Amino acid sequence: MRIADQPPSRTIRSVADRPSRGDVADVVIESLATGGRGVARIDGFVVFVDRALPGDHVRVRVRTSRRKHGEADVVELLAPGPDRVEPTCPHVGACGGCRWQALSYPAQLREKAQLVRDAITRIAHLPDVPIDDIVGAEDNLEYRNKVELTFTQEEQGPVLGFHRAGRWDEVLEVDRCYLIGDAPNAAKDAVQRWAQSTGLSGYDQRLHEGELRNLIIRHSARTGDLLLALVTTDIELPKLGNLIDELQESVPGFVSLLQTKNSGLSETTQGHPTEIITGQDWYREEILGLTLHVPHNGFLQTNTAMCEKLYGIAIEESRLTGTETVWDLYSGIGSIGLALARDAGRVVGIEIVEDAVEQATQNAQRNNIENAEFVAGDVAKAIEPLIEAGAPMPDLVVIDPPRAGLTPKAVRRVLELKPQTIVYVSCNPTTLAGNAVLFTEGGYALEVVRPVDMFPHTPHVECVARFVRTPAADALVVD
Ligand SMILES: C[S@@+](CC[C@H](N)C(=O)[O-])C[C@H]1O[C@@H](n2cnc3c(N)ncnc32)[C@H](O)[C@@H]1O
């Protein structure tokens, strides 16, 4: 995107009713929609504009035009909106990450708070629910503990970067990623130097040629541990001694190198066979005084400092007194459940990934927590057998689902547990709002929503919501 210093030099078609693909128009961005795109109107017709910010005066070209709305790309930034700032990273705009880095941080927080308000008001239809002020991130750069880079082939050999904005098949080389710290950036550089010495090439997503696909870096700034997983086709890696020497010399905290073999066509990094080249297939992280072993492919909130804030709020909203039974649904490696166990009578976690359940169990032992147990299963299916097996009914259910939220069936199973309180940790206000409808229909009242910014420069926002059981719940039959 460039800022125009000349008045418009081309004729803008006047667009009646609905614009057509390819039409060009000058618009002002009114707001940001869920997902982070700018919203503008062409003669009243709504278009979503990628990478445009509120108040921007932009020339756009229509990419799609549907019955109710369309999509458009910025051709030229004619005049910046009031909250546009110079981003730290020179790749903003071209790189597929950091969609909001050119928006001032206070404005990002304002927009995220509004996304949460809109979801609770317009989707859940609960306009009277109190929504706390959003908690801003402590650091809005170098906050990520995990990054997934992609290889591409350039003249000098394989280079590492991120997908170009809007492109699945093109990778932009980046000198430095500002969302990760010095050690992960040094790891990226060391792997790239080694890759260029091997004669291997970066995988071409379109032609399906080349051997080197991705580099996953996981790093704890607290323990210093840094784990790398190289995703390749099914090959033996050459010059591994050189790579390990290079990593040990130039990457502080380097502990493990793994190879994941993906010979399939799709660019997935999970679920493929993984071998340990050196070290082990986990690294150590510290959260709220717990030392956690995180499997190389296991879920962990990607912003450790803000994860502590988020869990701290979840603990506050749980209002435990030391005796309660807590069910931790979607428990991952046990991080929330173990943080709550110190104030609870007993914790039961349910998680679908068996390795994560194994790590959660070991994490409990590692931290001398004896009142927490973790069970493998799908939340929608595992609750009934657990109750039949005599598991204690919960006073509190903590829910921390993936972005899609709970299925209606999973909500019904939670309602059957009849907990006094439900604390819902959500990474997607839209699905939180959809689930809030079902919980309120089930006789629960949404008492408060507390947004937290875990992901500066992206449109993502996390929330903790507290639901309490009302007398209406007793009158309802859940089927
Ligand atoms: C957002 S993560 C939360 C993990 C954990 N609470 C934490 O804070 O690290 C969601 C977790 O839900 C798990 N999951 C996804 N679908 C599930 C299902 N149907 N039943 C149980 N667990 C599921 C994922 O494997 C993942 O570990």
- Cα 179 to Cα 185: distance, rounded to the nearest angstrom: 10
40 & 151 share domain: no
228 & 309 share domain: no
Index of the ligand 1 atom closest to the CA of residue 337: 6
Ligand 1 centroid–CA 206 distance in Å is: 32
More confident residue, 166 or 471: 471
456 & 315 share domain: yes
Q: pLDDT of 271-285, one tens digit each? A: 788 999 999 999 999
Q: Is the CB of 162 under 6 A from ligand 1?
A: no
Return the best residue to mutate from 299, 412, 432 for the ligand 1 pocket (most ligand atoms within 8 A of CB).
299
Mean pLDDT of 41-46: 94
Residue 90 lies in a domain: no
Residue bearing the CA closest to ligand 1, atom 5: 332
394 burial type by CB count under 10 A (0-12 exposed, 13-18 middle, 19+ buried): buried
405-434 burial by CB neighbour count: b if 16+ within 10 A, else e? bbeeebbbbbbebbbebbbbbbbbbbbbbb
Q: pLDDT of 301-349, one tens digit each? A: 999 999 999 999 999 999 999 999 999 999 999 999 999 999 999 999 9
Residue 421's domain comprises 113-137+303-475
Work out the number of other CB atoms within 10 angstroms of the CB of residue 204: 14
Asked if residue 10 has pLDDT above 60, the reply is: no
Return the best residue to mutate from 330, 426, 461, 464 for the ligand 1 pocket (most ligand atoms within 8 A of CB).
330
Task: Choose one of 46, 64, 84: the last residue of a domain.
Answer: 84
Asked if residue 11 has pLDDT above 70, the reply is: no
pLDDT confidence of 16, banded at 50, 70, 90?
low
Q: Is the CB of 350 under 6 A from ligand 1?
A: yes
Active site residues: 427
Q: Is the CB of 330 under 6 A from ligand 1?
A: yes
Q: pLDDT of 386-418, one tens digit each? A: 999 999 999 999 999 999 999 999 999 999 999
Index of the ligand 1 atom closest to the CA of residue 410: 19
Q: Is the CB of 402 under 6 A from ligand 1?
A: yes
Residue 216 lies in a domain: yes
DSSP 8-state assignment for residue 84: B
Query: What pLDDT was estimated at residue 264?
Result: 80
Q: Is the CB of 351 under 6 A from ligand 1?
A: yes
pLDDT confidence of 5, banded at 50, 70, 90?
very low
Ligand 1 centroid–CA 342 distance in Å is: 21
177 & 196 share domain: yes
Ligand 1 centroid–CA 213 distance in Å is: 26
Mean pLDDT, all residues of the chain: 93
130 & 152 share domain: no
- Cα 49 to Cα 384: distance, rounded to the nearest angstrom: 46
Query: What pLDDT was estimated at residue 49?
Result: 95
Return the best residue to mutate from 288, 352, 414 for the ligand 1 pocket (most ligand atoms within 8 A of CB).
352
Q: Is the CB of 332 under 6 A from ligand 1?
A: yes
| Domain count for the chain | 3
287 burial type by CB count under 10 A (0-12 exposed, 13-18 middle, 19+ buried): buried
Lowest mean pLDDT segment, chosen from 12-16, 225-229, 246-250, 365-369: 12-16
Q: Is the CB of 423 under 6 A from ligand 1?
A: no
Residue 455 lies in a domain: yes
Domain with residue 23: its CATH number is 2.40.50.140
168 & 120 share domain: no
Asked if residue 451 has pLDDT above 90, the reply is: yes
366 & 258 share domain: no
CB 242 within 8 A of CB 197: yes
Ligand 1 centroid–CA 1 distance in Å is: 38
Q: pLDDT of 135-188, one tens digit each? A: 999 999 999 999 999 999 999 999 999 999 888 889 999 999 999 999 999 999
Query: What pLDDT was estimated at residue 4?
Result: 41
Residue 93 lies in a domain: no
Q: Is the CB of 444 under 6 A from ligand 1?
A: no
pTM of the predicted model as reported, rounded to 2 decimal places: 0.92
220 burial type by CB count under 10 A (0-12 exposed, 13-18 middle, 19+ buried): buried
Task: Choose one of 239, 261, 287: the last residue of a domain.
Answer: 287
Residue 96 lies in a domain: no
Asked if residue 81 has pLDDT above 90, the reply is: yes
